[in-house]
Structure 1
Amino acid sequence: MFKNILLLLCMTALSTPAFAQDHAAQNADIAPDMPAKFTVNTDKFDFIRRDVMIPMRDGAKLHTVILIPKSAHNAPILLTRTPYNATLMTSKAESGTMRSVLQGYDNMPDVIADGGYIRVVQDVRGKYGSEGQYVMNRPLRGALNHTKVDHSTDTWDTIEWLVHNLPQSNEKVGIIGVSYDGYTSLTALINPHPALKVSVPMNPMVDGWMGDDWFHNGAFREEMLSYIYNQDATAKKTAIWWGNQYDNYDLFLNSISAGALGKERGMEQIGFFRQLLAHPAYDSWWQQQAMDHVLADLPLKVPTLLVHSLWDQEDNYGAIALYYALKQKQADQPNLWLAMGPWNHGGEIKEASTLGPIKLPSDTGLYFRKKILEPFLAHYLKDDAVALPQRVSAYRSGSDDWETREALPARDCTTDCTTLHLTAKYQLAMNGSAETSGSVSYLSDPAHPVPYVQRPVITRGAANSAWDNWLSTDQRNAASRPDVATFTSPVLTQPVSLDGQPLVHLTATTSGTDGDFVVKLIDVYPDEVPEQRELGGYQLMVSSDILRGRYRKSFEHPEAIPANQAQLYQFRLPIMNHTFLPGHRIMVQVQSSWFPLYDRNPQTYVSSIFTAPPEAYKPATITIDTAKSWLTVHTADVATP
């Protein structure tokens, strides 16, 4: 037996070199299908694509994609600086046309390609193809950034390279972008390059604590944890947020706090997450980065078109805050324009003939691009004599038409105001038309917070998520809950047109020592809407926001709420421009949780809600003094629809 085994091993050993030689000989006759580097034949394309690394003043090189129309001569440049992958944003081609390439995020083929612009998209430092280190909303050089570079210097250096290396251009540059790319369009305004002739910040991140991505009046936007994880963990978004529960409501509830969930996901490795934990209040770290503070102290040298979405689910604070900050410094601001429409975040760059389920009479995104954006860009970037749009172009929802004016109404309403009083009978009385004395109470239980959309709450970006349109979702589910106080007007017999930022004046007590207050202004549709039956009784939020009670007196210095003692909670809601039509009703809802859009308030005062222990979360009884609670908003001067 042993001899047979030995013989077999010897035969195998002797045959192995021959087998290997035969195998190699066979493979030598097979050429690989895939070349080491594939070169696309672009002879039939109507544009030239260049991928370049543009050097910055500190030696870092930033990856930049340049698309040049083959017919370009004396053409202007449209630049976008992004953390969202310049290659992906310029690689959607299904044909050899520049129009087909510009189908990605932040691109508008009907404006850019049809307009004959040279398109430039650049990865910000530290992201995707660019060198250097990434910092979320990198602070400007100074107290928070001791390096010699920031987004403003990177923009300056980029434009300097472009105007010297694109002979097809007229050396006029515009910068444009949505959200983070809107933020970089704002930073370009600081010590702007002489060739920068126009800036279009759309839905820009301006102040992440006061009301854009990260907080609203001190309440942390828990749903943004996934964005921070995906964006800031790796340069090329190779680490993707994960959840072991389909319903984010359960995921965040079981994790107790945003800080605990972040730590569970390893987010303490991420610098920006550590900064959030270190700065829960509106301290100097936040204040020094707020772009409305920064830009209000500088001359606005470059013509700027701010673009705001009235139903922006992510950054519905920034553009309007910056507009008012600039106007406060210089009422007759010669370089400032504003457009706002019935869009969600970035909706203006896409087809926009609906608002959630509500059908609009036209494509409002197309109107913005053709009637407002195109003339604005052409006026400053081309040699044609193109008339500018009006200073303010605003869509009036409800009556569904566009208005133009010289300026927004004053931020504080002192004349021509409508007051919406809360009443003890759950009615909403306009301008003192009903008895308001008394009180309304509800029990706010952190173990059963009010969901901000109908459950299941699917994480942002995932299939079937309601995130993109949550601001226009039906509020009837909230109105049916006992922990939501709902006040409704009688059926309107005349149109009520309101605009500006509603000011909430809410007087309430809580049995706890902290608490949140959510106020929503809602348009209630008639019970029957023949032209669109599914809208019968629909409750559309027109303006809504939250205030964390510990910041009722100071955003910088939080303090506990004295239990069972009446306190004033006063804050502004986002801007509105809306007509409540006859047959509709006006509604105000007040609640103390909006979950998991915002992290739960334990309703027991702790030093930081990010690290609140489970035992801190306790029910609290909220009592609203209706005689001292109302909303004030501008009465719009518009023609009767």
Structure 2
Amino acid sequence: MKKITFLLLSLFTLSALAQRGGGGPDAAYVKENYTKYEYQIPMRDGKKLFTSVYVPKDQSKKYPIMMDRTCYSVAPYGTDQYKPSLGPSPQFLHDGFIFVYQDVRGRWMSEGIYEEMTPELENHKTTNDIDEGTDTYDTIDWLIKNIPNNNGKVGVWGISYPGFYTTTSLLSRHPALVAASPQAPIADLWRDDGWHNGAFMLVANFGFYPGFTNRQDDKPTQRRGKEFNAGTEDGYDFFMKMGSMKNTNDKYFKDTIRLWNEMMNHPDYDQHWKDRNVLPHLHDIKTATLVTGGWYDAEDLYGAINTYKTLVKLNPNTPVYFAMGPWVHGGWARGTGDHLGDVDFGGATGPFYREKIEFAFFSHYLKGTPLDLPKVSTFETGANQWKTYNTWPPSPAQERNLYFLPGGKLSFTAPAAGKDTYNEFVSDPNNPVPFLNHKSMDMDREYMTADQRFAQKNPGVLTYQTDVLDHDVTLAGNIWANLKVSTTGTDADFVVKVLDVYPDTAKNNKFTGEGVQMAGYEQMVRSEAVRGKYRTGFDKPTAFVPGQVSPVNFELQDILHTFKKGHRIMVQVQSTWFPLIDRNTQQFQDIMKAKDTDFKKATHRVYISKAHPSFLKVRVM
């Protein structure tokens, strides 16, 4: 994720420990076995990028290079200050590599002006035609020529924003780059972290930019950004009192954060964002690639899935591997990965990935060890087991439709009759449906599996569910919402959530929270939002005609989940999801410039008839 916000991932926490001079279980080993060097590596346009290099003290053999390029700082700075651990996991540290960490252009101690998701160029005709691909090429070239005892092979890895820089390292196309692992990479800034189908991800973005913005000029610094202090832990109340989106500047940021203003000034998927979509550039790639993501990644699920799919499509002869587990953003890097919130995954999943997938991949391509790694390794939630495939989505998965029916029913059987059958609800942006059932200023990662019974009781939520399943049902691949709707307004958001409803006999597990009962638990499996005015194209907002039935189709992204026999499949539809996404005024306008008085109630209808069916398109194994 680019938006680490208030959620400090275990990986980021490790970096923070290093910056504070803290230690860890491998800290002594690092100092005893590695020598640290610092360099200002020149780029083709003359700018220099700050780079820390940790070299094994044992110089009796040659080592491959493992590199992480980051906008989150390579700290600690100073050749006498060491990171408490090196590499993606302790296996790398103890096996022996040359570890390289670099502040990307315009961040921390590197020269230049920072661009968020630097646009990639297809042609580099002059030395001033630079991007992340050229910066990576120049860095690799310098390292290979100047760091003693390297074996001429380079691997790159990174999580979240560094995952994006790992993806762009592929575009360097340097012959020494033989392996790369983009992990939770941002692929399309507008679609990953900024807007989900046009609905602005409010709580994540608002909390991110003040702390991220430690510098907006070309002057290197170790100064950190200052996190925003809301003075409360009640995010719902805070953002309601804040009012419209333009108040973020009027009340708090005062037009001082350039990157925030870029988001506020470009709510549509215009050329600004199209230039920051790396996916179209992923052609002619020869580097072996392992793309990693988590099914419960609230930030960059889109990036992981679509980076993999694009690489496979555009580079059919290149070894491309895909790993997806039951993890939150970066959750595979540290920890056990045995649960999320109340939901038990049946055992540790993180160590398996780190040893059998990630380390095995890099060890093979950088050191020549044997490799027996399936092209696709995915964890099947619900059934809690690893599954391997040759392709993703797996070829046995067949498309089927799950229809919304009268009486709150959900079925693979289409509605038999009716022309204007519908369910309706009043959407009030001044009383939005919360995305959490507790107070928080954060985008709590547990919301991805949280019990949704609190939402089902809200009058602004429609609910559809199957009968009790008489056999297991496994969904594998992407889900598309195909809604037929009308509204009394001229714009509207629609949120669709897919839930696994546990039977009344379900027992609590060791991770079940206090006061929670797994009996009847409504576990969220997948969810997504769309801003209705983008239903005909993200770059072409179109108003609703009040009362007119309109199709609203959008992707909920991929899952691999088994709804067990005795469970139910449930779908919830709502129009507000606050403050995860910002409020829609329900009028056709630039919501980023709206006034507090622009928010209006509207009545939304979801049609469930033969003439106007609403359904989910799923892939069933």
Normalised by the shorter chain, which TM-score bucket? Answer: 0.7 to 0.9
For 1:441-480, what aligned pairs fall within 5 Å after superposition? 441-460=424-443, 467-480=444-457
1:598–1:333 CA distance, 2 compared to 1 (3 A): farther
1:560–1:600 CA distance, 2 compared to 1 (3 A): same
Larger radius of gyration: 1
Q: CA deviation at 1:333?
A: 4.1
Say if 2:463 and 2:573, in contact at 8 Å, map to a contact too: yes
Opposite residue 53 of structure 1, the aligned amino acid is: Q
- Report 1 or 2 for greater relative contact order, CA contacts < 8 Å, sequence distance ≥ 6: 2
Paired positions, count: 575
CA distance in 1, matches of 2:616, 2:263: 32
CA distance in 2, matches of 1:144, 1:281: 29
- Which consecutive residues of structure 2, in runs of 5 or more, have no partner in the other structure? 1-26, 216-220
CA distance in 2, matches of 1:277, 1:531: 44
For 1:466-545, what aligned pairs fall within 5 Å after superposition? 467-530=444-507, 532=509, 534-545=517-528
Name 1:624's counterpart in structure 2.
606
For 1:47-126, what aligned pairs fall within 5 Å after superposition? 47-71=34-58, 73-88=61-76, 100-102=84-86, 107-126=87-106
CA distance in 1, matches of 2:295, 2:554: 18
Q: Deviations over 1:68-119 (max 9, x none)?
A: 22235211111000111111499999xx9x8x433xxxx5332321331221
Q: CA deviation at 1:355?
A: 2.5
**SS of equivalent to 2:95:** coil
Name 1:326's counterpart in structure 2.
311
Q: 2:219 matched to 1:242? A: no
- Which consecutive residues of structure 1, in runs of 5 or more, have no partner in the other structure? 1-39, 461-466, 637-641
Say if 2:38 and 2:79, in contact at 8 Å, map to a contact too: no
1:267–1:138 CA distance, 2 compared to 1 (3 A): farther
Name 1:260's counterpart in structure 2.
247
Name 1:432's counterpart in structure 2.
414
Say if 1:603 and 1:617, in contact at 8 Å, map to a contact too: yes
Q: CA deviation at 1:457?
A: 2.5
Say if 2:36 and 2:80, in contact at 8 Å, map to a contact too: no
Name 2:179's counterpart in structure 1.
198
CA distance in 1, matches of 2:470, 2:296: 27
**SS of equivalent to 1:269:** coil
Q: Deviations over 1:299-338 (max 9, x none)?
A: 12211111121110111101212223334445x3433211
1:530–1:53 CA distance, 2 compared to 1 (3 A): same
CA distance in 1, matches of 2:77, 2:453: 39
* TM-score (normalised: structure 2): 0.87
Q: CA deviation at 1:357?
A: 2.1
Q: CA deviation at 1:625?
A: 0.6
Name 2:383's counterpart in structure 1.
399
Name 2:571's counterpart in structure 1.
588
Name 2:583's counterpart in structure 1.
600
Q: 2:129 matched to 1:185? A: no
Name 1:561's counterpart in structure 2.
544
Opposite residue 587 of structure 2, the aligned amino acid is: T
CA distance in 2, matches of 1:521, 1:189: 35
* TM-score (normalised: structure 1): 0.85
Name 1:152's counterpart in structure 2.
133
Opposite residue 338 of structure 1, the aligned amino acid is: F
Q: 2:349 matched to 1:364? A: yes
Opposite residue 48 of structure 1, the aligned amino acid is: T
Structure 1 stretches of 4+ with a deviation exceeding 6 A read 40-44, 89-93, 142-146, 433-437
Q: CA deviation at 1:610?
A: 0.4
CA distance in 1, matches of 2:117, 2:323: 24
Opposite residue 475 of structure 1, the aligned amino acid is: Q
CA distance in 2, matches of 1:366, 1:474: 27
1:167–1:279 CA distance, 2 compared to 1 (3 A): same
1:579 to 562, 574, 579: 562
Q: Deviations over 1:146-204 (max 9, x none)?
A: 94322112111111121122212212110000000000001111132221111100000
Q: Deviations over 1:486-514 (max 9, x none)?
A: 11111112100111111111001111110
CA RMSD of aligned residues (A): 2.7
Q: CA deviation at 1:604?
A: 1.1
Opposite residue 394 of structure 1, the aligned amino acid is: T
